[in-house]
Copies of this chain bind each other. A is one copy, B any other.
């Protein structure tokens, strides 16, 4: 790792000198012969055939077919007419979880409990050295189980070691008897505030919801530094393969941050990370006096704080104004009182940290909106309060998103994945403000799109297609689900590029192809503005470039 770091450090030094001297010998590079498409800062489509790039990886000029190419060039890449786009940006994801999950047992492709049991048993047999079998991605709804699975059903697959598997949404985890025993969980165990232990009679049945996951999670062996590094590099490689050149990491722990820095110090950061510290204490410990500067040539910045107002819909942890339609006694629960959430948001805003609050249920969204409205009187200026997910919003609250520069950070594939579940949880009346992308724009809110990886695959093409069709990969439902909430194709693209950059205070750095922006771009095998939704979903990313350097090429 020392090698690349030194090489990179030398490279940076050389580029600083080059700028300072503005010497004629050190000319720009040219990416030429492209079918180039980007949005400009107002979201309008711009087409071009070449891009001039400085030695330090910034765009200096977009060229049209008739523009003369410079004579003196350091380098020239001929793209042979292929389609060139700005890199995609995922406004909400979990980098380390993506990497860990990719290296662990992945149940996201299982369609039944039996299939999952077989896969778990096979993985355990193939990995005898692992003291714990860890993984995730299961979803009892996909399995058609109609209930959570149990520890006993996991014991059938693996009995000799603890197994601990998180649900696809990360809001619940499932352990076998060995895991419960290792954690000392018994019938007497009490769920912490904001958590729930699923029971079978008086016994814990094996699934732990939200904060209760920590009852077992705390005894899971901590990953080593090398495990963290491997997970990061795996996640980065996955993201670049999808054409994602920047992401917002929503809930960076201190160890996540230390991992990013180790990779950055070694010259290994490729994807750009807009980091939001997991809670105020984490962000303040790292930033000290406010957000960090952009580090490693605009590859990393701790921009703000991630807070959680509630849980998720699937596990009925989302906080609703009225009870769940399919669980009449339950309305979910807020994670914090109004006072506590305001105090935390205030502590963050006071030092200039951006605030991003997870809110799924209508009650949670209303709570956060009220907090923003109150705090906006004190903390003025360009704050870009973010509400993450903004999934189920009471229609009376929708217009409130249009004030105080609020950003609705939403995930199109959540809508297509959750559709039937959301209908069951909410009933027809409450769907009017669910996944209400177009309403957000109509009300004057800014929208940034992401995937919430690894809850969903970090595939921006699937998200983009969903965003203007309200249909899943199979074209279901016909005509789209509540199609009045579809965005236009261009609006959705903006939410995945310039809008996502703006949501992270990065619009001067990246998000489109224009002079002064970082040369973050991708070469794809089709024109996304001309492709059918099905074709768009099938987009192949052939090359990914970050800061004027090729960092991924499809094999």
Using a CB–CB cutoff of 8 Å, the interface residues on chain A facing chain B are 1-2, 5, 9, 13, 16-17, 20-21, 26, 56, 224-226, 228-229, 254-255, 258-259, 261-262, 265-266, 284-290, 292-293, 295, 351
Contacts and interface: CB of A to CB of B under 8 A. Distances in A.
Contact of A2 (B56, B265, B286, B290): B290
Given A5-B293, A293-B5, A288 B13 contact: no
A55 to B, nearest CB: 8
A290 B5 CA distance: 11
Nearest to A265: B293
Given A229-B288, A262-B287, 15 more contacts: A1-B293, A2-B289, A5-B293, A9-B293, A16-B16, A20-B20, A225-B284, A226-B288, A226-B289, A228-B288, A258-B288, A259-B288, A262-B289, A265-B292, A266-B293
A26 B5 CA distance: 24
Contacts of A229: 288-289
Contacts of A259: 288
A295 B287 CA distance: 18
Contacts of A16: 16, 20
B56 A13 contact: yes
A302 to B, nearest CB: 10
A20 B17 CA distance: 7
24 contacts: A1-B289, A1-B293, A2-B289, A2-B293, A5-B293, A9-B293, A13-B56, A16-B16, A16-B20, A17-B26, A20-B20, A20-B21, A21-B21, A224-B288, A225-B284, A225-B285, A226-B289, A228-B288, A229-B288, A254-B254, A261-B261, A262-B288, A262-B292, A265-B293
B225 A287 contact: yes
Contacts of A17: 20, 26
Contacts of A21: 20-21
Contacts of A284: 225
Contact of A258 (B9, B265, B285): B285
B266 A286 contact: no
Number of identical protomers: 2
Contacts of A226: 288-289
A286 B16 CA distance: 27
A280 to B, nearest CB: 12
Nearest to A284: B225
A-B pairs with the 8 shortest C-beta distances? A225-B288, A20-B20, A225-B289, A262-B288, A226-B289, A1-B289, A5-B293, A2-B289
A286 B265 contact: no
A119 B286 CA distance: 36
A2 B288 CA distance: 10
Contacts of A351: 225
A185 B102 CA distance: 50
A24 to B, nearest CB: 9
A21 B1 CA distance: 33
Contacts of A295: 265
A20 B14 CA distance: 11
Contacts of A224: 288
Contacts of A20: 16-17, 20-21
A187 to B, nearest CB: 34
Nearest to A263: B288
A513 to B, nearest CB: 23
Nearest to A301: B265
A59 to B, nearest CB: 18
Contacts of A9: 293
Nearest to A1: B289
Given A13-B56, A16-B16, A20-B20, A5 B292 contact: no
Nearest to A290: B2
A400 to B, nearest CB: 32
B285 A255 contact: yes
A54 to B, nearest CB: 12
User: Which of A26, A288, A289 neighbours the largest number of chain B CB atoms within 10 Å of its CB?
Assistant: A288
Nearest to A264: B295
Nearest to A266: B293
A20 B13 CA distance: 11
A289 B288 CA distance: 25
A204 B284 CA distance: 36
Contacts of A287: 225, 262
Contacts of A293: 1-2, 5, 9, 265-266
A293 B258 CA distance: 14
A254 B261 CA distance: 14
A3 to B, nearest CB: 10
A284 B223 CA distance: 11
Nearest to A56: B13
A292 B171 CA distance: 35
Contacts of A13: 56
Nearest to A255: B285
A387 to B, nearest CB: 27
Contacts of A254: 254, 285
